[in-house]
Copies of this chain bind each other. A is one copy, B any other.
């Protein structure tokens, strides 16, 4: 946490600002050592004179799989509209913060916001267009950290992905979700259960499988790492086939799913985390099923659905307040532990939504 200390001049207050710095462009999986911690000094906790931006005290930072695209020299995700991180500079991502100072008419000191921020204790956000004000009272029992997940980008991703991208699930339909215990998957599964679907998820540890079955209300779940034949596993859980697949892993899982879709099935592609860091993606063989089963496959990003955020929030907040939805977070404490938490996503070390608590 930043420590304030008076300097010798007395006029300005020097504040320490811990930062996560991007070391250099990455090929393959990002490693913890691709980032390092640096402590800079800020002269005071005020905006520069004339700034239209905001000065944020970061409270929570979100670890999101797509951040690793920005660690490449050429981010291979043109649709994500984001630029590569700059070697030697602070990385950024989604987070929750408190406004300390504002030159922007929409925000004032004391406001709580979520949106794009930088991985440091205090962020100077030059363009606060991508910050959203949180209506939160002191006696509100919804944790602020939820705005990195269920109430933030992963939430709108799950909501749009299930209800808007393809035809939404109908009662009794068979829904399969990969990476089901993650930030998005756990919500998609619970939304689908609320539609009276049969819902099965895959995850990478027995602990996560137990979570899906015992806490999140999935009808069933399996550990893909213990299935030598994914096709056989899917046939076990979906003897009559899958109506809707919520795709988050890609590769061999997608190839197996293609063989197990029903005629007119829908595949909603939210992510392909197993493929992002391979030098060559796993080849797929079962594309003819798109034709034979008249499938619909759609890729999407939450960025195309932000206009739905108010509607989404109005839907989801009552569910949370009435304990009608479960939500599991994996919170590490301290910015210095952020890089390890972030790279852990790619081997599934997180248990639920991974985030970093920077400050209270």
Chain A contacts to B: CB under 8 angstroms: 76-80, 250, 254, 263, 269-272, 275-276, 280-281, 283-301, 304
Most chain B beta carbons < 10 A, residue from A289, A290, A304: A290
Partner of A292, one of B78, B291, B293: B78
Residues of B contacting A281 with CB < 8 Å? 285-288
List the B side residues contacting A76 at CB < 8 Å. 288, 292
Residues of B within 8 A of A293 (CB): 78-79, 299
Q: Give Cα A191–Cα B281 distance, bound, in whole angstroms.
A: 36
What is the CA–CA distance of A94 and B189 in the complex, to the nearest angstrom? 45
Whether A291 and B304, one on each chain, are in contact in the complex, defined by CB atoms closer than 8 angstroms, is no
**Pairwise interchain contact A79-B296, C-beta atoms closer than 8 A:** no
Contact present for B297 and A290 (CB under 8 Å): yes
A269 contacts B296, C-beta separation under 8 Å: no
Q: Are A280 and B285 in contact (CB under 8 A)?
A: yes
Beta-carbon nearest neighbor of A293 in chain B: B79
Chain B: CB-nearest residue to A286: B281
Q: A294-B304, A299-B294 are in contact. Are A287 and B288 (CB under 8 A)?
A: no
Q: Which residues of B contact A254 (CB under 8 A)?
A: 287
A272: chain B residues at CB < 8 Å are 287-288, 291
Which residues of B have CB within 8 Å of A304? 294
Nearest neighbor of A80 in chain B, beta-carbon distance: B292
CB distance from A286 to the nearest CB of B (A): 7
Q: Which residues of B contact A298 (CB under 8 A)?
A: 290, 294-297
A289: which B residues are within 8 A, CB to CB?
299
A79:B287 contact, CB within 8 angstroms: no
Q: How far apart are the CA atoms of A286 and B76 in the complex, in Å?
A: 11
- Cβ of B299 and Cβ of A290 under 8 Å apart? yes
Can you list 27 A-B contacts (CB < 8 A)?
A76-B288, A78-B263, A78-B293, A79-B292, A250-B288, A250-B291, A254-B287, A269-B290, A270-B291, A272-B287, A275-B288, A283-B284, A284-B284, A284-B285, A284-B287, A289-B299, A290-B297, A290-B298, A291-B301, A293-B299, A294-B304, A295-B299, A296-B296, A296-B297, A296-B298, A296-B299, A297-B297
Residue numbers in B under 8 Å from A275 (CB-CB): 287-288
Q: How far is the CA of A212 from the CA of B228 in the complex (A)?
A: 48
* CB of A52 to closest CB in B, whole Å: 30
CA distance A298 to B266 in the complex (A): 9
A19 to B: closest C-beta gap in Å:
29
Query: Which residues does chain B contribute within 8 Å of A284, judged by CB atoms?
Result: 283-285, 287
List of B residues within 8 angstroms of A77 by Cβ: 291-292
A120 to B296, CA, bound (A): 38
Cα of A289 to Cα of B290 in the assembled complex, Å: 16
| Nearest CB on B from A32, distance (A) | 25
